[in-house]
């Protein structure tokens, strides 16, 4: 092999020396910065490589990021503060790039812009508007029940898979063609966006009002583009389907793992209703033990177990008594705060009774966040989960095929 002779050696030698010199210079320049980050940065008093269970309620897990696992941090970070300071969403995390191409209800980091979008969608997510579409929930619950009945006749079933193949957010039925549960919904999630856009151009298939209807009413007034409409639709599809499916999967798993809890829940549902068809949203609200089981599922198996990051405002602020400099990315790490023994006795145990006893710090569990950026879908999720969980529990008896599964 020919290397290019002596000139190559000279050139290579010079290049190598230059590279080594450059790396050395960069290292010399970077070492003081690392030293400052570790020892002198305003956040240096918080451990860098630590877990909340070992190092406490506040952990510095990145150079400019803090994770909180104490209940009081919820209000300081996410709620309206008495000092009037606003912690905005982290623009790096809630990015508006080629994935979405436009901002939507979830990633809008400007408070004024978010308020505008929130106002546009607020009524669609109200309890009144959702109850007007209760028949869709009942329709899909019926489809899920039929799918379970059909599959169970052939042997053990994967209930988790059955739940996750529910059609994407029932309220998009306005433009989306109904599909049986067994056909699956998640696999055509991206197609749903195009169906919505196509439906808006071709005209509605019925007089039913859904989430997108409220966006379209404001389309001209707010100059909403196709990309923005698609972004809103994508956000609603993901947020509207994943939360309910996750908590339902977790709920039935923990019920099967705890036969005594399952027996109480089944007795409550079957005592209050003579048939599954009687179970409607209003009636399901009165199932207190079901509500406790669901709250416990949200706590022990949160759909979003990580922190929803916020950025501290100009001039710094105080979080649970800790001074935090401006521009710091912070958040309540959901899994840590809901599994913190300072907040919940025996935190890793599934114990629905804690929601009646109230000896624990129940305010530490906030699966829908709080404040002005609280999840708009809270009413929708509760209606879906209560009705579906109650009806399915009334129609079927469940147990784990593999009792050792954990």
Antiparallel, parallel or unpaired: β 65-68 and 58-62: antiparallel
Distance CA 146, CA 234 (A): 28
Contact by Cβ (8 Å): 128, 135 = no
Report residue 81 as tokens. 């503060």
Side-chain-side CA neighbours of 87 within 13 Å: the count stands at: 32
> What is the distance between the alpha carbons of residues 166 and 178, in angstroms, rounded to a whole number?
10
Secondary structure (DSSP) of 174-198: GTSPP--GGG-SGGGHHHHHHHHHH
Q: What is d(CA 5, CA 340) in angstroms, rounded to the nearest whole number?
A: 67
Classified as helix, coil or strand, 96 is coil
Those residues whose C-beta lies under 8 Å from the C-beta of residue 83, and which sit 6 or more positions away, are 317
Angle among Cα 158, 162, 168 to the nearest 5 degrees reads: 155
Cα 166 from Cα 385, distance rounded (Å)? 13
Distance CA 350, CA 367 (A): 16
- Residue 388: other Cβ atoms inside 10 A: 24
Q: What are the φ and ψ backbone dihedral angles of 330, each rounded to 5 degrees?
A: -135, 165
Q: Is 375 annotated as ligand-binding?
A: yes
Count of C-beta atoms within a 10 Å radius of residue 18:
10
Report d(CA 265, CA 285) in Å as an integer.
14
The C-alpha atoms of residue 106 and residue 304 are separated, in whole angstroms, by: 14
User: With contact defined as beta carbons under 8 Å apart, do 182 and 164 qualify?
Assistant: no
- CA dihedral defined by 369, 247, 184, 266, rounded to 10 degrees? -140
Binding-site positions: 375
Binding-site positions for heme: 375
């Amino acid at each position: 092999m020919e290397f290019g002779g002596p000139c190559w050696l000279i050139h290579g030698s010079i290049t190598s020396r230059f590279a080594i010199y450059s790396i050395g210079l960069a290292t010399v320049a970077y070492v003081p910065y690392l030293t400052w980050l570790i020892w002198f940065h305003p956040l240096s008093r918080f451990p860098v490589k630590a877990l909340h269970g070992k190092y406490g309620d506040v952990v510095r897990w990145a150079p400019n990021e803090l994770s909180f696992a104490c209940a009081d941090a919820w209000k300081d970070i996410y709620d309206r503060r008495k000092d009037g300071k606003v912690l905005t969403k982290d623009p790096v995390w809630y990015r508006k790039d080629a994935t979405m191409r436009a901002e939507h209800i979830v990633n809008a980091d400007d408070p004024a812009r978010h308020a505008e979008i929130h106002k546009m969608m607020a009524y669609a997510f109200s309890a009144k508007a959702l109850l007007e579409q209760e028949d869709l929930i009942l329709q899909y619950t019926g489809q899920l029940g039929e799918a379970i009945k059909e599959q169970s006749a052939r042997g053990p079933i994967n209930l988790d898979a059955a739940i996750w193949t529910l059609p994407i957010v029932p309220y998009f039925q306005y433009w989306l063609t109904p599909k049986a549960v067994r056909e699956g919904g998640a696999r055509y999630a991206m197609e749903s966006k195009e169906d919505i856009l196509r439906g808006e151009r071709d005209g509605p298939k019925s007089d039913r009002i859904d989430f997108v209807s409220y966006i379209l009413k404001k389309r001209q007034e707010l100059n909403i583009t196709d990309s923005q409409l698609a972004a809103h639709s994508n956000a609603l599809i993901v947020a509207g389907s994943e939360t309910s499916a996750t908590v339902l999967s977790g709920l039935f798993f923990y019920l099967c793992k705890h036969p005594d809890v399952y027996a109480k829940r089944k007795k409550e549902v079957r005592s209050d209703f003579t048939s599954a068809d009687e179970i409607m949203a209003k009636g399901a609200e009165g199932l207190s033990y079901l509500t406790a089981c669901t709250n416990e599922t949200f706590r022990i198996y949160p759909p979003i177990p990580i922190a929803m990051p916020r950025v501290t405002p100009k001039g710094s602020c105080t979080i649970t008594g800790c001074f935090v400099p401006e521009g710091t990315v912070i958040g309540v790490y959901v899994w840590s705060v809901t599994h913190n023994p300072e907040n919940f006795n025996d935190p890793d145990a599934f114990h629905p009774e804690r929601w009646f006893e109230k000896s624990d710090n129940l305010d530490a569990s906030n699966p829908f966040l709080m404040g002005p950026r609280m999840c708009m879908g809270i009413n929708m999720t509760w209606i879906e989960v209560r009705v579906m969980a109650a009806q399915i529990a009334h129609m079927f008896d469940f147990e784990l095929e593999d009792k050792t599964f954990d």
